[in-house]
Amino acid sequence: MFRFLKNAPQLVVPLSTSLMFLGLTAPTTYSQDAQPADDSTEVVETGESGTDLGQEDLDEAAILGIDAKDPADLRRVELLLQSAIKKGLSGENSSFAKKMLGSVLLKKAQQMLGAMRSAPRNRIAQLRDEALRTLHEALENEPELVDAHLLIAQLNLLPGGDKQAVAESTTRAIEILKDRPVERSAAYVLRALTWGPGNEDKRLEDLNSAIQDDPKNLEALQARAALKLQEEDVAGAIEDMERVMAEDPNNRLVEPVVQKLAELNRLDDALNLLTQALEAKPSEGLYRMRAILYRMQMKEDEALADLNKALAIQPRDPISLLQRAEIAINNNNLQGAKDDLRAAERIDPRVALIEQAIAVRCMIAMEEGRMSDAISELKKLIESNPDNLAWQLQLAGLYISDDRPRQAVDLMTAILDRDPKNVGALRTRADAYLNIGEHVKAIEDYDSAIAAIGDDDANTQLSSILNNLAWVLATSPEAKIRDGEKAVRLADRAVRLTEEKKPHILSTLAAAYAETGNFEKAIEWSTKAVDTGKEQEHDQVDQLQEELDQYKAGKPWREKQEVEENATPILSPDDLIDT
Q: How many CB atoms lie within 10 A of CB 27?
A: 14
pLDDT at 160: 76
Give the contacts of 429 (CB within 8 A, at least 6 positions apart): 396, 408, 409, 412, 413, 416, 445
Instruction: Give the residue-averaged pLDDT of 44-70.
Output: 68
Query: Which of the residue ranges 140-144, 216-220, 326-330 would you say has the lowest mean pLDDT?
Result: 140-144
DSSP string, 512-547: HHHHHT-HHHHHHHHHHHHHHHHHTT-TTHHHHHHH
Cα-Cα end-to-end distance for the chain: 18
CA 285 centroid distance within chain = 17
Quote the CA–CA distance of 70 and 313 in Å, as a whole number: 41
Question: Which range has the worst mean pLDDT, 23-32, 302-311, 348-357, 531-540?
Answer: 23-32
Q: Is the pLDDT of residue 5 over 80?
A: no
Average pLDDT, the chain: 83
CATH architecture of 462-563: Alpha Horseshoe (1.25)
Amino acid at 278: L
Compute CA distances 232 → 8, 156, 260, 376, whole Å.
16, 30, 10, 40
pLDDT classification of 397: cutoffs 50, 70, 90: very high
Q: Residue 70 carries which DSSP code?
A: S
Supply the pLDDT for residue 163: 81
- Of the ranges 34-38, 44-48, 169-173, 477-481, which one carries the lowest mean pLDDT score? 34-38
Q: Which fold has domain 361-454+564-579?
A: 1.25.40
What integer pLDDT is reported at residue 35 of this predicted model?
Answer: 44
Instruction: Express each pLDDT in 476-520 by its tens digit.
Output: 999 999 999 999 999 999 999 999 999 999 999 999 999 999 999
pLDDT the model gives residue 255: 65
Confidence of residue 303 (pLDDT cuts 50, 70, 90): very high
pLDDT of residue 3: 28
Are the CB atoms for 314 and 284 separated by under 8 Å?
yes
Tell me the per-residue pLDDT of 249-267, one tens digit each, with 9 for 90 and over. 656 566 666 777 777 778 8
**Read out DSSP for 18-69?**
GGGGGGS---S---GGGPPP-------PPPTTS--TTHHHHHHHHHHHTT--
The per-residue pLDDT for 291 is 92
Question: If pLDDT is split at 50, 70 and 90, which confidence band does 4 have?
Answer: very low
Kindly report the pTM of this predicted structure: 0.57
Residue that wins the pLDDT comparison between 24 and 229 = 229
